[in-house]
Amino acid sequence: MEAAMSITLAAVLVGIAFLAGIGCTTLGPGGIFTTIALYTLTTVSSSTVAGTAQLTFIGVGLLGSFAYLQSGELAIEGNARMAGLLSVSSILGALAGAELNAYVSREEFGLLLGGFAIVTGFLIIYRERSTRLPQFNVDLSTSSGMALISVIGLILGCLSGLLGVGGPVIAVPVLIVLGVSMLPALAVAQVQSIFIATFATVGYALNGAVSLPLALLVGIPQLVGAFLGWRIAHYVQPDRLKIALGVTLIVVGPYLALQ
């Protein structure tokens, strides 16, 4: 951690991480705010931003997976199978994304992260405002259905590994658009995020691009927020919150791109 980091800055990072944790298990797109905070509020390299964020997402994924297992979403065979396929296929993508990040400058990282935030924001709003989401009815008992989910997992893993954003940030909107309901999508994404974050972290750690002090600073409050978010997801209909989240991502996207 930067030696000159002020108490005020540390408190801001803790607060953002806590809210990001809530978003991870309530909406899916939440971890991106931890990455955004590390990128905009610290001076560490883009690789360290991504690697540190991925380390914190391991804990969130483990906690979220256990929580959704307890509440029953992962006990359903179809959901468990989808989680397994997405997780395994995302491993290679996460390693590839972490490797690609080494060739991306801090300015290019900001452009990519900003663009991704904008696209994610529009995707969230689309899924909330659309009266008829496409229903693909992916059949995981067929080879074509398994291949489709595997390809999606590979792409999601690569994007997450490259940008240092949690798996649910990408996976939940994509699964919703594919017709998966909210809670199962959140549950499946938590499992996938364990594999993405673990293998991406290994890739960054091998290049010395993980800050353990920073990871502890934002990771602990993020875990607390993730537990609270799981509880909220079962008692609140967060339609307005999702729209607000989408708008926020669209607004901050250009700012990140210009950093």
For residues 219 and 1, the model is more confident at 219
Q: Is residue 147 part of a domain?
A: yes
Give this prediction's pTM.
0.81
Q: Is residue 2 part of a domain?
A: no
- Whole domain around residue 86: which residue ranges? 7-257
Q: Is residue 151 part of a domain?
A: yes
pLDDT (average), residues 172-182: 73
List own/partner pairs for 63-67 with CB under 8 A and 24 or more apart.
63/25, 63/223, 63/226, 63/227, 63/230, 64/24, 64/25, 64/168, 64/186, 64/187, 64/190, 64/193, 64/226, 64/230, 65/187, 65/190, 65/191, 65/194, 67/25, 67/190, 67/227, 67/230
Q: Is residue 1 part of a domain?
A: no
Q: Is residue 92 part of a domain?
A: yes
For residues 222 and 36, the model is more confident at 222
Q: Is residue 62 part of a domain?
A: yes
Placement of tokens 């953002």 in the chain: 16
Instruction: Tell me the pLDDT band of 83, cut-offs 50, 70 and 90.
Output: confident
Total number of domains in the chain = 1
Q: What's the confidence (pLDDT) of residue 196?
A: 87
Q: Is residue 229 part of a domain?
A: yes
What is the C-alpha separation between 200 and 90, in angstroms, rounded? 10
Q: What's the confidence (pLDDT) of residue 217?
A: 96
Cβ atoms 55, 255 nearer than 8 A? no
Q: Is residue 11 part of a domain?
A: yes
Q: What's the confidence (pLDDT) of residue 1?
A: 53
For residues 24 and 11, the model is more confident at 11
pLDDT of 135 higher than 70: no
Instruction: Tell me the pLDDT band of 257, cut-offs 50, 70 and 90.
Output: confident
How does pLDDT run across 86-134, given as a tens digit for each residue?
888 888 888 888 888 888 888 888 888 888 888 878 877 877 776 665 5
